[in-house]
């Protein structure tokens, strides 16, 4: 590969990394809490809890 192709590849990898970081702004506890809250609300809706 030449220098231009390397620069393009690095730019694409960097862009993909930024997109991934923006998509995962919630921390794991926040995701777990929101997931559990959703499950509980669905269970209450179905009169299981």
pLDDT tens for 4-41 read: 777 777 777 767 666 666 655 666 677 788 888 999 99
- Rounded to whole angstroms, the maximal C-alpha distance in the chain is 64
| pLDDT at res. 7 | 76
**Is 2 strand, coil or helix?**
coil
Contacts of 49 (CB under 8 A, 6+ apart): 40, 43
pTM for the structure as a whole: 0.38
CA atoms of 38 and 46, how far apart (whole Å): 12
Predicted pLDDT at 24: 59
């Amino acid at each position: 590969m030449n220098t231009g192709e390397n620069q393009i590849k690095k730019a694409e990898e960097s862009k993909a990394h930024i997109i991934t970081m923006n998509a995962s702004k919630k921390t794991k506890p926040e995701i777990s809490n929101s997931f559990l809250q959703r499950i509980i609300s669905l269970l209450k809706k179905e009169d299981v809890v």
